[in-house]
Amino acid sequence: MKSLVIIGAGFSGTVAAIEFLRTAPEGSTLLILNRSGQLARGLAYGTNSAIHLLNVPAGNMSAIVTEPDSYLDYCKSQDKDITSNCFTPRKMYGEYLESLLTKAESDARGRVDFKQITGNAKRISPFETGARIELDTREVILADQIILALGHFPPLSPAALRPLQDSPCFIKDPWSNDISKLRDSDSPVLLVGGGLTALDVISSLKKSNHTGEITMLSRRGLLPIPHRVSRGSTHSHPELTLELTQKVPDILGYFRTIRSYISSNPEMNWRDVIAAIRPITPKLWLNLPDKERRRFLRHLQPYWDVHRHRVAPATYEVFDASLKVKKIRTLAGRLHCAEEIASGAKVSVRLRGEQHLTDMTFNYIINCTGPNSNPSLINEELIKNLVLENLISIDAYGLGINVTQDLAVIDQTGNASSWLSYVGPMLKANLWEATAVPELRIHASEVAKKIVRLFNEEALKA
């Protein structure tokens, strides 16, 4: 009997489990291990608030590669008025994933032994032809194959805010604190970061009737950009993608080519052009030499992120309405230092284009810098042990974990594991475009099918 253990039960782990359950050979065992005990949620879909919306329309959110209307059909079963253009609550998407997993488990009953364990993996080590997993309860699990399906980790605290680490005025992780329970509804709040996390926090503050001024500080002062209310063209723009893949790979050349193409086709919406580039983004990233990758990360990544990762129109409307009545102000600058004071915190900021520091005071500071995916900076015992024991390697840019084309992890000597695979946003190290459902569903399906093939081959040998 061959066994697969999936560590992590967010989107990637859940979809890998569903795909495995659908085709695994008779006598297989599947065990899902996660610390919360809540399947099919993870950081993204664990919210219970209906105001937290998906940032992708329902029509492109199927978890199953071969069933493009899977999520839309589920939505219509809950509310017949939902269309492919709708941006639905993330809570609903978590319920959808759970329903798919429940059905896959039911259909596989008698063929696959499915178990769930609530626990925290502490260490993984090779054992015979597979592996040994130690939990923090000292329980040991043996596995023939393991899929690490670790998703997003809490944001890092900016260095300037470390003196506030233990202060009640500093919310280090906006996803683990109830923003609605801030003591004073009229308290001035500083959001450090101006991306999608900041907009989630703003929505939560507005829902809790917060009336104080919100200051949003980021290095460049870039504002989020909304999706269109209706879906755009699905034209693949082959002439552009061909030119990008054939040109000498340098980031400025890519940028100029895309900009020129958009300028030469004023009838097109730039959003459709960005969407057309998605399928070739991994190839463009892999083609770039080290110097060009570093140039992109240093100079252009924030601009790419704000145009590529757009926000649901309704979420943006809440933000835009507050901007117009000056309940939110946005600043471009760098935090220099911070100290706790009686009313909260005083921070010193060097605003963009200025040499002197500007002091500001807030009752609360919320870290909205976004999730951390650099394994060397993740404060998790499992990750630390995987690095320490040379079972995984971190890419040169701190974006994630090195893997092969079939998602086997690569150790620090360059060898691919025969029993350990990874799927999740840390694939960004190799593929760049690996943080959203349209890409992750493909990777989760591929890694599950790889393991099914391995189990079938072993069964034939037996």
Report DSSP letters for 291-343, one per residue: HHHHHIIIIIHHHHHHHHS-B-HHHHHHHHHHHHTTSEEEEEEEEEEEEEETT
Q: Which residues contact 179 (CB under 8 A, 6 or more apart)?
A: 171, 201, 204, 205, 208, 366
CB 400 within 8 A of CB 394: yes
CA-based diameter of the chain, in Å? 73
The Cα–Cα gap between 299 and 124 comes to 38
Distances (CA, A) of 150 to 8, 140, 377, 378, 446: 5, 20, 14, 12, 16
Q: Which two tokens stand for residue 219?
A: 């290095």
Q: Which residues contact 297 (CB under 8 A, 6 or more apart)?
A: 397
The Cα–Cα gap between 36 and 7 comes to 12
Which domains does the chain show, CATH number per domain?
3-153+372-461 (3.50.50.60), 159-226+310-367 (3.50.50.60), 238-308 (no CATH)
Residue 36's pLDDT is 79
What are the residue ranges of helices labelled H in 123-264? Answer: 196-207, 238-246, 251-264
The Cα–Cα gap between 335 and 73 comes to 47
The residue written with tokens 């760049």 in the block is 432
Q: How confident is the chain (462 residues) per 10-residue block, as mean pLDDT?
A: 94 97 96 84 67 90 96 96 94 95 96 94 94 94 97 90 92 78 83 93 86 94 90 77 94 94 90 90 94 95 92 92 92 96 95 95 94 90 95 95 96 96 95 89 97 92 72
Residue 206's pLDDT is 85
Residue 43's pLDDT is 64
**DSSP letter, residue 372:** B
The pTM of the full predicted model, rounded to 2 decimals, is: 0.92
Residue 232's pLDDT is 58
Residue 358's pLDDT is 97
CB 436 within 8 A of CB 56: yes
